[in-house]
Amino acid sequence: MTSVQVAETVKELQLYLEKARISNLTIGFVPTMGFLHEGHASLINTSTKQRDVTVVSIYVNPLQFDPDEDFDKYPKDISSDLDLCNEHGVDIVFMPSEEEMKPFLSEESLKLRGIVKIFEGESRPVHFQGVATVVKALFEIVGSSYAFFGEKDFQQLVLVKQLVDDYLLPVQVIGCPIIRENDGLAKSSRNVYLDSAEREQSAVIYQSLKAGAEAISKGETSIKNIEQLIKKTVETSPLANIDYVAVVDPLTFEIPNSIKNEVRLLVACNFGQARLIDNILAQREVVSS
């Protein structure tokens, strides 16, 4: 039986956090859609180490799913989620209903930057507007805090940082490293959709990113060459269906003319019903004269 405190209403959560702030305690916040795994646990662990109080939200956000996506089938296991939160020292779990969240969600589209129209935004047109609407609401509900996000959804991480800046939200966003399986596959709630053959071949995503990063470290500066190398590596898997491969600036998410220093390599790929995304930081080695 889990002992972590659960708040199902905004009022319950805010009363709890108000008492913490009166005691000058700092708040760490990990927003999730549930079905928690080791990737989420690593975010929670970072929060519990760095902050006095850790809040985890569990809310499957219907706004970020396109009409043909898996909202109704999105995996859920609340009992397991609460156990994980309890085991990793979470102080309070916020589990609002759609009805509870509704008054806090902006009815008008938020003004977001161009990042929402490319890559994930192009493949999933309503996704980022939905993410931003709910994240903004959650940030306003939780208030002054440090929010921990995984780097696996790197485009989302950059978007959230932009959202905080543009709407002057009282939150510091902290990106945390990707947690991987032994073969390199990034941990994701959607990995449960992979059958055994797809799961085996899905490791090619990370292999392709490593190949690209290695080429850059050895001096490759052509974005076209790196993209082709990554695609060629992914295509060694017969079950892989590439959505996009890209090289972007890790701060602005813009596509540079050539690779001069640090870049992020991105891959989105379908394996059967599972749409997997991954990324890696790549850097040219600086040779001193």
CA pair distance 134, 122, nearest whole angstrom: 20
Confirm if 261 and 248 have CB atoms less than 8 A apart.
Answer: no
The answer to whether residue 37 is catalytic is no
CB-based burial label for 97 (10 Å; 0-12, 13-18, 19+): exposed
Helix, coil or strand: residue 58: strand
Q: What is the Cα–Cα distance from 141 to 169, expressed in whole angstroms?
A: 11
Measured CA to CA, the distance from residue 187 to residue 80 in angstroms comes to 17
Other Cβ atoms within 10 Å of 135 Cβ, number: 26
Give the three-class secondary structure for 173: strand
How far is Cα 237 from Cα 58, in angstroms, rounded to an integer? 35
Q: Which residues are catalytic?
A: 40
